[in-house]
Amino acid sequence: MRGTVRIGTLAGIPLELHFTWAIIFALLSWSLATGYFPQAVPDLPTGSYWSKGVLAALLLFASILAHELGHALVARREGVQTRRIVLFAFGGVAELKAEPPGPGAEFRIAVAGPVVSIGLVVFFGILTGALAVRPGAAAVAAYLAMLNGIVVLFNLIPAFPLDGGRILRAALWRFWGDLPRATRAAAGAGRFFAYFLIVTGIFGMLAGHAAGALWRVFIGLFLLMAAQSAAASVWLKDALSGLHVRDLMTAEPVAVPAHIPVAEAIRDYFLRYGYGGFPVERAGRVVGLLELAQVKAVPPEERDQVSVQAVALPVEAPVRTAPGADAMEALQQMLQAGHGRLLVFEGETFRGLLTHTGVTRLIQIKMALGI
């Protein structure tokens, strides 16, 4: 997920905020301060409403974070690490590094979030009663109890990738013994529910209920993209299962000499071979990676004077992998680093080049052959 900023770690798991979080946080705080709390607790100062609105919005996102942390901690216990937890406009997501090892693990990971949210409903419900003598504080607790309840009910809808959809996938996985098939079926349910939200939202807008209906459309579109992305991700992992970088890399690729000017690299390499990037070689050793992004960064009038070595990416972790590395992890490394290829080294010996195009070509062949 692009457009995120890292704000720290929690239980050793990177925590990130998507830029849409700030937008929704501001809108939610405003809505609570000007609408919900003035109705729930009349005759308070405006500043009090705003403090309650901001506090409730913060605690709601903290509740969502606790929900996702529940998934992540149970996943860790099942042997699956979490890449990161991201909070965004429509809630949060704990991105796992791998699929659960079995349907039982999938079920336990999926139900962990709703269990945490149910615990929060109980906690804030009790807190509402305990704060009865302080109506303003009780209103904040009541709001959080209500919203966590909505989070539970919404997430338990059997539509992948919602928690209910993951529970459905776990059941189908147990029944069929086939994760890709179970994922396709659960994602199909997710798409159906997404289209339902979109269609009802459109009719709602036509009927004059613009605000709530528009939210249904937005949530439906998000779920539709998420269901399709999750299904594609599982299929991709299945297609690359058991493969390593050495199985997909190009051995002895064409290399660009480090000393030549960028203009010559464009003319004799990029235009001649039609590739999007090349290893950079100096004195028989690969010392970097040159891609179109680095070439484009050099002004046209300077390309005759600037050498390839001056702009090439150094041989470091973001563009480097090993022959025995997992193919799926290498592909994710490429995507996260924003590069279309990785230099493959065994120790300090250059072995080849792994390209996004090469991985895509293998997947296309598998699709064509139905394997």
What residues are annotated to the active site? 68
Q: What is the dihedral of CA 190, 196, 198, 204, to 10 degrees?
A: -150
Rounded Cα gap, residues 17 and 2, in angstroms: 10
Ramachandran category for residue 338: left, alpha or beta (phi over 0 → left; psi -120 to 50 → alpha)? left
First-to-last C-alpha distance (Å) of the chain = 29
Q: What is the 3-state secondary structure (H, E, C) of 111-165?
A: HHHHHHHHHHHHHHHHHHHHCCCCHHHHHHHHHHHHHHHHHHHHHCCCCCCCHHH
Rounded Cα gap, residues 194 and 160, in angstroms: 10
Rounded Cα gap, residues 268 and 280, in angstroms: 14
Rounded Cα gap, residues 146 and 269, in angstroms: 62
Rounded Cα gap, residues 246 and 44, in angstroms: 68
Specify whether the CB–CB gap between 194 and 157 falls below 8 A.
Answer: no
Backbone φ, ψ for residue 11 (5° rounding): 55, 35
